[in-house]
Structures are given as C-alpha cells and as structure tokens.
Amino acid sequence: MAAIRFQGTDRYVVTEDLALAVNAAVTLSRPLLIKGEPGTGKTQLAEEIAHSLKKPLLEWHIKSTTKAQQGLYEYDAVSRLRDSQLGEARVADIGNYIVKGRLWEVFISDEQPVLLIDEIDKADIEFPNDLLRELDRMEFYVYETRELIKARHRPIILITSNNDKELPDAFLRRCFFHYIRFPDAATMTRIIEMHYPNIKADLLKEALESFYRLREVPGLKKKPSTSELLDWLKLLLADDISAEALRGADGQSAVPLMYGALLKNEQDVHLFEKLVFMDRRQNR
C-alpha cells in the first residue's frame, strides 16, 4: 500500500473524518460519493486531492442531458457517411470516428488519475445505473471496433451530489459515502486563517458570530455557506472594515454590513430585513 495520505493542502482544510474518508477510498479503490450543502467545497476537494497526491485531474461535469454513453465514447456515424461520399481514405478505419469520452481518457491515462464526476444527481434518474459495470470492473466494450477498454490504473473517483435526485441503491452499494458537515466555528477559523492569514482576530471573531447568527435565522431558503463567508470576508477586508464597525455603533450588530454577499436569494434578503426591523423595534 502506498504511504501517500491525503491530509489537506495549504489551500484546503480537511476535517479528520473527511481525510479518513478520502484515504480509505483511495486505499480500497472505491468511488467516494460526497454530499453536503452547496458551497462546502465538494468540487474543490477533487482538485486538492489531485494536487496533493500529484496526480492528473479529469473532470466530468454532468448536465441534465448527459448520457452515460457520452462518458465512454460516441460514434460519429454522420461524418463517416459524409466522408465516404467524399472518398476520404480515413473512412476505412472506423476508429477514426470514435470520439473518446471522459472515462476512456481516464482509463488510458499513463498514471493513476483522479476522476471527478461532478453533480451526478443532475443527470437522468437512470444515469448512475448505466455506469455500474464501468465503475465496478473499470472496463467497457466498444462495439464498433470490438475492443475492450480496460483501465490501466484504477482511478481515484470522486462523485459529488447535491441531493437533487436520489441515487439508486445498486450504485450506492459500490461507493463510499461521506456527508460534508457544515464546519463548526473552530474549523471555520482554520479555513479563514488559511485564506486570509492577515485578518485581525477581533474582526474574525465578530464576523464569525454574525455569520453563524445569520445561519440560524429561521426560514432562510439558502443558508450562507463557507464560500459565501469567504467572499464576504474578502469584501470586509477590501473595505478595511474594523471589528467595531461590524459590531455596529449601538453594539447590537443586528445587520451585518454588506450582507448581500451572504444572502443570495431575494426572498431571503426580504425576510432578513423584516426580521432585523422587528428586532430593532423590540429593542427600542
């Protein structure tokens, strides 16, 4: 067993359980299915794994129209037909008209690659089932050329899902599953210090408090997540806002400054403003 273990990088904080999940998936060469709130760094995880294990990263972004076959290969019959009429020499070899898909590229990669299948839940409900054999045996058959494509190295597969659709049991059984919990304040402090090493401690404390308070506002459609927090802090730092200003003149800090970076939904902003307004009236 290779002794390389994923421990996070200088740009990405992993919790103990996530690191364990990644390492176990790598060791046992099982696909790792990652779920979690949007903005908790699911997609970025793949980049960081590839970066830290020094392996090439191949991404396959799934859309609602993506078919499993497209990940393997596509046979471009139409251009072959056209070429045959134009008398092109390459027509004789059907292989010229097989367009390689992402999985094919992964399978023939010279070193063990990291494959990211991003947002698998976006695809049709049967999509994961169509990939069972490919992910299990790491091979597929090209009917047109009658060749069997086998993976040279079992890739490290990372699959992300946003829970739009439930995934079939047969598929889940072949994966390891990890749910990225929303980071607690201690982890969040580490994340922020990594991104903004020069942030003042009091500003950070104040910002985190407002942030977690905001997350607790009931009825928000989309709770602000880590990536939003980082954006917001960038704004605060860019404007050089002090912790005192953030706390607010009256010391109540009901409205975080520039909360537009945290709340992305118009209804949420309305709801929040209403709550703040009511809160102020009560305190008066």
Partner 1 sequence: MLIRFFYMLRDGGVPVSITEFLALLEGLKERATSLSVDDFYYLARLVLVKDERYYDRYDRVFSDHFKGVENALQILEASQLPAEWLRRQAELLLSAEERAKVEALGGLDALMEALRERLSEQKSRHQGGNKWVGTAGRSPFGAYGYNPEGVRIGQDESRERQAVKVWDRREFSNLDDTLELGTRNIKLALRRLRRFAREGAAEELDLGGTIDATARNAGWLDLRLVPERRNTIKVLLFLDVGGSMDDHVRLSEELFTAARSEFKHLEYYYFHNCVYESVWRDNHRRHSQRMSLAEVMRTYGSDYRLVFVGDAAMGPYEILQAGGSVEHWNEEPGSAWLTRLRQAYPKHVWLNPEPENRWGYVPSIDLMRRLFEGRMFPLTLAGIDRAMRALNAR
Residues forming the site for partner 1 (CB under 8 A):
1, 16-17, 20-21, 23-25, 27-28, 30, 33, 35, 77-78, 81-82, 84-85, 125, 165-169, 172-179, 181, 186
Q: At what angle do helices 226-238 and 201-216 cross, to 10 degrees?
A: 140
Q: Which runs of consecutive H residues, i.e. helices, occur in 142-265?
A: 169-174, 185-195, 201-216, 226-238, 243-247
- Least Å distance between CB 16 and partner 1? 8
Nearer to partner 1, 17 or 239 (CB): 17
Rounded to whole angstroms, how far apart are CA atoms 110 and 204?
A: 45
Residue 90 DSSP one-character state: G
- Least Å distance between CB 21 and partner 1? 5
Nearer to partner 1, 173 or 284 (CB): 173
- Least Å distance between CB 174 and partner 1? 8
Nearer to partner 1, 32 or 203 (CB): 32
Q: At what angle do helices 185-195 and 226-238 cross, to 10 degrees?
A: 50
Q: What angle do CA 92, 97, 102 make, to 5 degrees?
A: 150
Nearer to partner 1, 10 or 16 (CB): 16
Cα–Cα separations (whole angstroms), residue 75 to 127, 130, 228: 19, 18, 42
- Least Å distance between CB 164 and partner 1? 8
- Least Å distance between CB 85 and partner 1? 5
Nearer to partner 1, 20 or 258 (CB): 20
Residue environment code for 31-62, b if the CB has 16+ CB neighbours within 10 A, otherwise e: bbbbbbbebbbbeebbbbbbbbbebebbebeb
Q: How many residues does the chain have?
A: 284
- Least Å distance between CB 198 and partner 1? 25
Query: Could you tell me which of 43, 47, 34, 44 has the C-alpha nearest to residue 180?
Result: 34
Nearer to partner 1, 186 or 249 (CB): 186
- Least Å distance between CB 20 and partner 1? 5
Residue bearing tokens 């009901």: 254
Nearer to partner 1, 72 or 159 (CB): 159
Q: Are 276 and 254 in contact (CB under 8 A)?
A: yes
